[in-house]
């Protein structure tokens, strides 16, 4: 059986190592390939030759129009990261949400405290999944900072919840950043641009936890800045592992 990951760029990914380790641990001699895809439309026919595949940035939403069906969570999040080829039909799933939930438990991040405040930076596929997760758990005190802000994007986000504050990412340093949890859902600071950070320690002093979804490097510049400011810091490696486990559950029932 053949499986793969598609996205662009993928120089930073650890998905092949994780999936191959899971295959080996379960006694499966399967292949998992990495494909940097610049044009999804040209590659979708080739993907039908695989038993299943994963999708990462920037295609978690774009992939949906090519699929035959998606599960309810993927539909609500408007984001797919796992596809099963079942009887020549491509079925999309969102396993990021379980990966995120399990990672919160692993890191002992208690989001159910009274008046819990969340800041999400970015609004790609995984950020939409995380937003849906919080709202589904009645966490409504959420601010989102996005790049290339527009009325269309603002309306899209407020369709989730009209009380969400949406702001330009370039203005984030002008705000009093006072949150229980700040999540970086952008690629800023990922390999190879590992010296970049979206924020500095001076503006992080009132943040309890910083969750940088990047996992390569394992300690990002944002995390280093958070440590300087006295924050608890976590990377995205644990979430990546959990979503991969859930993906294989979909592939192998």
pLDDT tens for residues 172-208?
988 889 999 999 999 999 999 999 999 999 999 999 9
Q: Which of 60, 65, 158, 162 is catalytic?
A: 60
| Domains with residue ranges and CATH for the chain | 2-94+239-252 (3.40.50.10860), 97-237 (3.40.50.720)
Confidence of residue 158 (pLDDT cuts 50, 70, 90): confident
205 included as an active-site residue = no
Asked if the model's pLDDT at residue 67 lies above 90, the reply is yes
To the nearest whole percent, how much of the chain has pLDDT over 70?
Answer: 100
Cα separation, 8 vs 184, whole angstroms:
19
Average pLDDT of span 45-65: 95
Asked if the model's pLDDT at residue 150 lies above 90, the reply is no
To the nearest whole percent, how much of the chain has pLDDT over 90?
Answer: 87
Write down the pLDDT at residue 162. Answer: 85
Confidence of residue 153 (pLDDT cuts 50, 70, 90): confident
Average pLDDT of span 53-62: 96
Write down the pLDDT at residue 12. Answer: 87
Phi-psi category of residue 150: left, alpha or beta, with phi > 0 → left and psi -120 to 50 → alpha: beta
Q: How many residues does the chain have?
A: 253
Write down the pLDDT at residue 248. Answer: 98
Residue range 72-110, pLDDT digits in tens: 999 999 999 999 999 999 999 999 999 999 999 999 999
DSSP 191: T
Confidence of residue 21 (pLDDT cuts 50, 70, 90): very high
Average pLDDT of span 124-142: 94
Confidence of residue 143 (pLDDT cuts 50, 70, 90): very high
Write down the pLDDT at residue 245. Answer: 97
Residue range 224-238, pLDDT digits in tens: 999 999 999 999 999
Which sign does the torsion angle of CA 133, 137, 138, 139 carry?
Answer: negative
Write down the pLDDT at residue 149. Answer: 85
């Amino acid at each position: 059986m053949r499986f793969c990951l598609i996205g662009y760029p993928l120089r930073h990914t650890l998905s092949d190592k994780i999936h191959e380790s899971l295959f080996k641990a379960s006694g499966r001699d399967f292949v998992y390939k990495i494909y940097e895809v610049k044009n999804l439309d040209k590659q979708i026919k080739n993907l039908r030759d695989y038993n299943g595949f994963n999708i990462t940035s920037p295609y978690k939403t774009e992939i949906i129009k090519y699929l035959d069906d998606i599960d309810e969570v993927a539909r609500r999040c408007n984001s797919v990261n796992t596809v099963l080829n079942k009887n020549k039909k491509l079925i999309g799933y969102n396993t990021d949400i379980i990966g995120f939930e399990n990672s919160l438990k692993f890191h002992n991040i208690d989001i159910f405290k009274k008046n819990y405040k969340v800041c999400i930076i970015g609004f790609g596929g995984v950020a939409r999944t995380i937003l849906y997760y919080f709202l589904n758990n009645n966490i409504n005190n959420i601010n989102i900072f996005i790049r290339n802000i527009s009325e269309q994007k603002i309306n899209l986000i407020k369709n989730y919840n009209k009380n969400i504050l949406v702001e330009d990412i370039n203005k984030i340093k002008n705000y009093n950043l006072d949150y229980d949890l700040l999540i970086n859902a952008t690629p800023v600071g990922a390999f190879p641009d590992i010296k970049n950070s979206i924020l500095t320690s001076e503006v992080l002093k009132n943040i309890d936890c910083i969750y940088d979804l990047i996992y390569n490097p394992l300690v990002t510049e944002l995390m280093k800045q958070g440590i300087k400011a006295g924050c608890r810091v976590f990377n995205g490696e644990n979430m990546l592992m959990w979503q991969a486990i859930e993906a294989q559950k979909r592939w192998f029932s």
